[in-house]
Chain A
Amino acid sequence: MINLPENELNLAFTASEPTVLSQPNFWRRAGRSLLHDPVALCSFAFIALLAVVAIFAPLIAPYDPLRQFSNGLSYVGAPVSPNGHFLLGTDASGRDVLSRLIFGARVSLLVGVVATGLASLIGVVIGTVAGYVGGVTESILMRFTDMVLSFPILLFCVALIAVTGPSTRNVVLVIAFAYWTYLARVVRGQVLSIKEREFVNAARTLGVGHVKIIRKHIIPHLIPTIIVYATLGVATSILIEASLSFLGIGVPLPQASWGEMIYEGQQYFQSAPWLLVAPGVALILTVLAFNLAGDWLTDILDPAVQEMGS
């Protein structure tokens, strides 16, 4: 027998080993990174502000977004420019632009978040099943994904809306049905590599069932990817919703939505540019914030960085 002092325990427990992934450290690292990244910090702050505005829209908005003010139109019937009474002016129907903008944020966020959530769910399920099961199942699922993916996303949505009819629910479903493909492909690729890892084999040889392996060993490793894609997906969904509303087939009138506001505003942009600028800027800032937040999340949740040294 070889006899050696049992020094391994002492060594490993006293020496401070690099612990990159341990939970508390991760959050501290994330927080520190956020503080040193003003762009990401502003993005998250803006998203938080937007969420607050959307949730408490009736409390924050100065007026009812649908109310047509008699003093909201000039004596020739033109929109009133921003003033002390109407901070962002009024639109061609004499409605307060700021109130409509605030209520429009509700539509944008609702559509963005719900559609992306739905798309993520479909994408993760299909991608995981395809990657894990493989074989014919994978071929069928992925060819179907490719088929959906091959349509230009906006045209695809327009066609679907034309069939289903415009309503907020249909807009959400249509966007979800067009966007899940991106996640499905990425998830499938990740699952293919995760399922070859030794700890998955170890679980299999223990006799752990497939469903449990997927739930306990595969999905947790997909979460960073899902978060990143979902964040970017919210931005995309908001843009698609605005585009659909701009084309007149999105959220039905007279409900306020940014896309619809831009559509109405374009007719008056020479005499009343605030009708375009207000929803346009809101849209740009929102999409930018979600994209920048997504970029930051990509960096902080990058599995290569995260599992380095483990």
Chain B
Amino acid sequence: MKTPARDVPLKVEGLKVYFRVRRAFGKARAIKAVDDVSFELRSGETLGIAGESGSGKSSVARSLVQLTRPTGGTISLAGAPVTNLTGQRLKRFRRRMQMVYQDPYDSLDPRMSVHDAIGEALSVRGLPKAEHKSEVVQLLERVKLPATVAERYPNQLSGGQRQRVSIARALAVNPEIIICDEAVAALDVSIRAQVLNLLKDIQHDTGVGYLFISHDLSTLRFMADHVAIMYVGRIVEHGTSEEVFSNPQHPYTRALIAAVPSVTSRGHRRLKLSGEPPDPGNPPAGCPFHTRCPEAIDQCRTERPELVTFDGAQTVACHVVQLGRARVAASGETA
């Protein structure tokens, strides 16, 4: 379906987003919302990022579109670093990477008509005002909304329609990448499917790359070519959608997938998750997941596992998985 060896428009290496939190009568401390995250996104492809709330998914998105400045690491778009842009260069960069926000009720200005909201984006692109009207109608058509929507205000639209308007606004500046931060989480299931199909159609037509952030694994399985699972600011498992969903390795991934309600439960190596993810301001030593991991060994409590290639494109950060592979390899040698 997809041709391999495409150009790599978005490359993120060692991304760090720390927040300094100052308490009264206390020392300032850093909350590591995102810690050493790396990934690539090719145009025409979708990378899904999954994780519980507080795992740093949204911080990744916000630092990519430069709503928050990353503390460290590099972000490069089509080979050019974009991490510390300012002024006009930042403005020009922003057009290339757009975001569709989670809350359809807050991401459109309630005092601006749909025409004005999309027109604002067209102005950024430098389109003269006279051509706005026809372009807005075209963009609305592309997101399958009737032209009459242009005169409406956001509160006259349903959640799904608003999200379509948000998508149209993002498309208005011809971006190379669109970040969907829980873009369908607030929608009804039936409308969600329509919006997801719409996004797929747009990708097929324009070759835009999606960074799709969601806590909902079934959405990601439908949308994503590659999936990264995040836990407390780090990627714990990364691979193609096929690899991660059919052969999950990290205990956290397995637990997440097992938690997805399914008619045909495969139930192999089923895991149940209890407790809350740890406070990112005070993460536990070693593997951050060891406090909830049923398979944790002593090494997990002291030593932080690194992302290691498991098979093909799949990388996993887990001591137990590595140990298992080492054992398999050893037994293979002796046999």
Contacts and interface: CB of A to CB of B under 8 A. Distances in A.
Tell me if chain B binds chain A: yes
Interface in A112-169: none
Given A202-B101, A202-B107, A206-B173, A4 B156 contact: no
B110 interface: yes
B121 A220 contact: no
A6 B197 CA distance: 11
Interface in B83-113: 90-92, 94-95, 97-99, 101-103, 105-112
B156 A208 contact: no
Task: Sort chain B's interface into a size bin.
Answer: 35 or more
Given A205-B99, A207-B124, A199 B109 contact: yes
Given A19-B156, A198-B101, A202-B99, A220 B106 contact: no
B191 interface: yes
B94 A198 contact: no
Contact of A22 (B67, B102, B155, B158): B155
Interface stretch (A8-16, A76-84, A93-101, A255-263): A8-16
Contacts of A212: 120
B214 to A, nearest CB: 15
A21 B161 contact: no
B233 interface: no
Contact of A4 (B107, B153, B194): B194
B154 interface: yes
A290 B241 CA distance: 65
Contact of B194 (A8, A19, A307): A8
A197 B106 CA distance: 7
B194 A310 contact: no
Interface in A163-201: 197-199, 201
A20 interface: yes
B185 to A, nearest CB: 13
Nearest to A2: B193
Given A8-B160, A198-B101, A206 B194 contact: no
A7 B194 CA distance: 10
B146 interface: yes
Contact of B107 (A2, A12, A199, A220): A199
A204 B120 CA distance: 11
Nearest to A21: B155
B121 A19 contact: no
A159 B172 CA distance: 57
B319 interface: no
B196 A2 contact: yes
Given A2-B197, A199-B108, A17 B158 contact: yes
Nearest to A23: B153
A198 B107 contact: yes
Given A2-B196, A202-B166, A12 B157 contact: yes
A67 interface: no
Contacts of B65: 205
Interface string A201-219: 1111111110010001100
Given A12-B161, A202-B166, A310-B154, A208 B124 contact: yes
Interface string B133-176: 00000000000111000000111111011000010010001000
Contacts of A6: 144, 194
A270 B156 CA distance: 64
Given A1-B200, A8-B160, A17-B158, A203 B222 contact: no
Given A4-B194, A8-B161, A206 B94 contact: yes
B326 to A, nearest CB: 41
Contacts of A2: 193, 196-197, 222
B264 interface: no
A198 B100 CA distance: 10
Nearest to B161: A12
A12 to B, nearest CB: 4
A221 B106 CA distance: 13
B190 interface: yes
Contacts of A199: 106-110, 112
Interface in B116-135: 120-121, 124
B158 A21 contact: no
A51 B132 CA distance: 43
A198 B90 CA distance: 19
Contacts of A19: 153, 155-156
Among B94, B191, B194, residue most surrounded by chain A Cβ atoms (within 10 Å) = B194
A309 interface: yes
Given A6-B194, A8-B194, A205 B94 contact: yes
A8 B160 CA distance: 8
The winner among B66, B67, B110, B194 for most chain A CB atoms within 10 A is B110
11 contacts: A2-B197, A9-B144, A17-B155, A21-B153, A21-B155, A23-B153, A199-B110, A202-B99, A207-B124, A217-B109, A220-B111
Interface of B: 65-67, 90-92, 94-95, 97-99, 101-103, 105-112, 120-121, 124, 144-146, 153-158, 160-161, 166, 169, 173, 190-191, 193-194, 196-197, 200, 222
Interface of A: 1-4, 6-9, 11-12, 17-23, 197-199, 201-209, 212, 216-217, 220-221, 307, 309-310
Given A22-B155, A204-B67, A206-B95, 15 more contacts: A8-B160, A8-B191, A8-B194, A12-B160, A19-B153, A20-B155, A199-B110, A201-B99, A201-B101, A206-B98, A206-B121, A212-B120, A220-B109, A221-B111, A307-B110
